Amino acid sequence: MALAVGTKLPDVTLHTKTGDSVEEINLLDWCEDRRIVFFYVPGAFTQTCTNTHLPGFVRLFDSFAKKAVDVVACISVNDAHVMKAWGEQVGALGKIEMLADSRAELAQALGVTRDFGPVLGERAKRCCFVADEGIIIHSFVEEPGQLTGSSAEAVLEALQ
């Protein structure tokens, strides 16, 4: 499978931490009857992800509702505890769903994995996709070191 418009999302499980517990999220069930903006980041607490990518979605969160988006979700190949802590630090909790793809299962299924070397290892490329009831209606994968088409501003513009 590839991250492509018209493709149904894979049946994988992601995780999120709410309160003191970690919850499993079946991606297909979670997408049912909803339009969701997903953006993948290479790693929580990394420079571009923390200073620009996630904060852009936090800042423009209310604009997505005006584009008939039900949920905005950030995904990373990290664990749910790290994703919650990062969301707290950046002020994303209560706005952006912080989802952990701890084994890179979704990233692999979408064909967006990349080896980031000895420090980060295998992660997901920076990318975004919009799913309407589990069907991808918009997708963009960044070139290494870039943040253009997966930025909050670019995604809003694509949702015209």
Domain assignment present for residue 7? The answer is no
Domain assignment present for residue 4? The answer is no
Domain limits for position 27:
13-158
What CATH number corresponds to the domain at position 69? 3.40.30.10
The pLDDT assigned to 2 comes to: 75
Number of domains in the chain: 1
The answer to whether the CB of 87 falls within 8 A of the CB of 96 is yes
Domain assignment present for residue 81? The answer is yes
Count of residues for the chain? 160
Domain assignment present for residue 36? The answer is yes
Quote the pTM value.
0.93
Residue ranges for the chain with pLDDT beneath 70: 1, 116, 121
Q: Kindly list the catalytic residues.
A: 49
**Which residue from 139, 141, 151 is spatially nearest to 8, judged by alpha carbons?**
139
Domain assignment present for residue 1? The answer is no
Domain assignment present for residue 6? The answer is no
- Alpha-carbon gap, residue 38 to 97, rounded angstroms: 9
